[in-house]
Amino acid sequence: MKAAPFEFVRARSLAEACERLRQHGADAKLIAGGQSLVPMMAMRLTRPAHLIDINEIATLKFIAVEWDAVRIGACTPQRVVERNEALAAQLPLLRQALAWVGHAQTRNRGTVGGSLAHADPAAELPLAAQVLGATLTLRSTRGSRAVAAADFFRGPLTTALEPHECLEAISWPLWKEKHTGSAFTEVSRRHGDFAIVAACAQVAIDDSGKCTRAGFGLAGGGSIPLAFPALAARLVGTRLEDNTIKGAALEAAGAFDPGGDLHASPAYRRHLAEVLVARALRAAHAHARSTR
Amino acid sequence: MSETLYPITVEVNGTQRTAQVPARLTLVDWLRDELRLTGTHVGCEHGICGACSVMLDGEPVRACLVYAVQSDGHRVITVEGLVRLDGTLSALQDAFCETHALQCGYCTPGMLVAAQALLNMTPRPSEEQIRDAIGGNLCRCTGYQQIVDAVKLAAQRLAAKS
pLDDT at res. B10: 98
Q: Is residue A115, in this structure, part of any structural domain at all?
A: yes
ipTM of the complex: 0.94
Q: Mean pLDDT over residues A91-111, rounded? A: 97
A157 and A187 assigned to the same domain = no
Query: What does pTM read for this prediction?
Result: 0.96
A166 and A184 assigned to the same domain = no
Percent of chain A with pLDDT over 70: 100
Collect all residues with Cβ–Cβ distance below 8 Å to A87 and sequence separation of at least 6.
A63, A65, A70, A81, A94, A95
A266 and A161 assigned to the same domain = no
A144 and A185 assigned to the same domain = no
A143 and A190 assigned to the same domain = no
Domain boundary pick from A149, A173, A197:
A173
pLDDT at res. B126: 98
A70 and A122 assigned to the same domain = yes
Residue-wise pLDDT tens digits, A6-44: 999 999 999 999 999 999 989 999 999 999 999 999 999
Residue-wise pLDDT tens digits, A133-185: 999 999 999 999 999 999 999 999 999 999 999 999 999 999 999 999 999 99
Closest CB to B69: pick one of A8, A35, A106.
A8
> Contacts of residue A34 in chain B, CB cutoff 8 Å?
65-67, 70
A107 and A158 assigned to the same domain = yes
Buried b vs exposed e over A172-186: b needs ≥16 C-beta within 10 Å?
bebbebebbbbbbbb
| Yes or no, beta carbons of B26 and A106 under 8 Å apart | no
Q: Is residue A188, in this structure, part of any structural domain at all?
A: yes
pLDDT at res. B1: 55
> How many domains is chain A partitioned into structurally?
3
| Yes or no, beta carbons of B60 and A108 under 8 Å apart | yes
Chain B CB within 8 Å of residue A159 CB? no
A41 and A77 assigned to the same domain = no
pLDDT at A273 over 60: yes
A153 and A183 assigned to the same domain = no
Spatial separation of the C-alpha atoms in residues A142 and A145, rounded to whole Å: 10
Reported as half-sphere exposure (CB side, CA atoms, 13 A), residue B34 has a value of 17
Spatial separation of the C-alpha atoms in residues A230 and A244, rounded to whole Å: 14
Instruction: Name the strand (E) or helix (H) holding A28.
Output: strand A28-31
A79 and A105 assigned to the same domain = yes
In the sheet where A179-187 sits, what is the strand order?
A179-187, A197-205, A211-219, A226-227
Q: Is residue A1, in this structure, part of any structural domain at all?
A: no
pLDDT at res. B91: 97
Residue-wise pLDDT tens digits, B38-97: 999 999 999 999 999 999 999 999 999 999 999 999 999 999 999 999 999 999 999 999
Residue-wise pLDDT tens digits, A57-78: 999 999 999 999 999 999 999 9
Name the amino acid, one letter, at B88: T
A101 and A137 assigned to the same domain = yes
User: Domains (ranges, CATH) in chain B?
Assistant: 5-78 (3.10.20.30), 91-161 (1.10.150.120)
Range of the domain at A27: 7-53
Q: Is residue A2, in this structure, part of any structural domain at all?
A: no
> Contacts of residue A192 in chain B, CB cutoff 8 Å?
135-136
Domain boundary pick from A141, A173, A205:
A173
pLDDT at res. A191: 86
A135 and A212 assigned to the same domain = no
